[in-house]
Amino acid sequence: RHLSPRLTPSEGLARPPPPPTDNCPNGSFRPSHGKIVERGVVPTCVYQHSRGTIPREPSWDSVEWEGRSLLKALVKKSALCGEQVHVLGCEVSEEEFREGFDSSINNRLVYHDLFRDPLSWSKPGKALPGGPLEALRALDKRTGSGPATIALDSLSWLLHHLPCPILCQTLHALSRQDSCPGDTLPGEQVRVLGLLHEELHGPGPLGALSSLAQTEVTLSGTMGQASAHILYRRPRQRPTLQTQWFSILPDFSLELQVEPLLESQPPSDLHTPSVDPTTHLTFNLHLSKKEREAKDSLTLPFQFSSEKQQALLRPGLGQATSHIFYEPDAYDDLDQEDPDDDLDV
């Protein structure tokens, strides 16, 4: 195993604190979450990908803004359902991730540590060609039996270390696994949860990743209240969009909340119940039943009815009833022989 060995939770907690962040070879990485949260604009995007029929969808309940707590809440939910949870941790140490979970959840949780030693410098003898990529692919093999959840913390880190197409291909392979066993056992499903810091990436990688995802949760909030915009792409159906307000309790369970009343909304509601403009009028706009019948039975002059047709087809009747009264005028030209006699030709 080229990764740091799998730890039982007790071992993990007993370990010394993680090395400082400058151990991280790429200094540009590690976004400051605090700042993003302060700004209150769509800080993170939890990216979930599941395959086949959707496993029990965790209810998108309580969360704070920053997406890791939502991720942890989802991880907890999966663990409580009895699934094996694999976490690929790149941005926080194992201790930090496990903090707040009780032991039963920690037992189900397998932490693959990329944070401590991302490029395997501490084991120079091994010298793996692709650190993060190999770790991702190894996850694929590890979740062989039973339903499992893979949590990627975070996709942003992976995007910075891997080319986007390769990451997409690996994620796709991860979620579809080897199709042969999956087809025979419908219960065996792999869910991939990914955390993505939206502001760190351009529209290209975001679009590419979201086109792969089945469910996309974008976090935002107003007035201290977090909300999640959930885009759920059902296979071969219209995607659904909904907004859910929630909060996350300290033990990482979700709590649904009702939508807070925004100050901007009530005024617009007050204005809309408008007065019916037709109530106080000096003339009548409405028809009574009798009037309506009379109106409907009326044949309008431009309509072509069978009576009109009959009347037109009977020329004799028309001749008998109609006459042309004509009194010749003094200047009328009555000579039918020469119509041009007034031209002096």
Residues that bind other proteins (CB under 8 A): 163-169, 172-173, 179, 202-205, 207-208, 211-212, 233, 236-239, 241, 300, 302-304
Report the candidate in 228, 204, 232 with the shortest Cα–Cα distance to residue 50. Answer: 232
Peptide bond into 154 cis (omega under 30): yes
Query: Least distance in Å: CB of 126 to other proteins?
Result: 19
Query: Least distance in Å: CB of 173 to other proteins?
Result: 6
- Smaller CB separation from other proteins, 93 or 218: 218
Terminal alpha carbon distance of the chain: 119
DSSP-assigned letter for residue 2: -
Query: Least distance in Å: CB of 264 to other proteins?
Result: 19
Q: CA angle, 202 as apex, 219 and 43 as ends, to 5°?
A: 20
- Smaller CB separation from other proteins, 31 or 52: 52
Q: CA angle, 116 as apex, 114 and 119 as ends, to 5°?
A: 60
Query: Least distance in Å: CB of 239 to other proteins?
Result: 5
Reading the block at residue 128, the tokens are 């793996």
In one-letter notation, the amino acid at residue 198 is E
- Smaller CB separation from other proteins, 18 or 182: 182
- Smaller CB separation from other proteins, 103 or 179: 179
Label residues 90-104 b or e (16+ Cβ within 10 Å = b): bbbbbeebbebbeee
- Smaller CB separation from other proteins, 302 or 331: 302
Query: Least distance in Å: CB of 5 to other proteins?
Result: 27
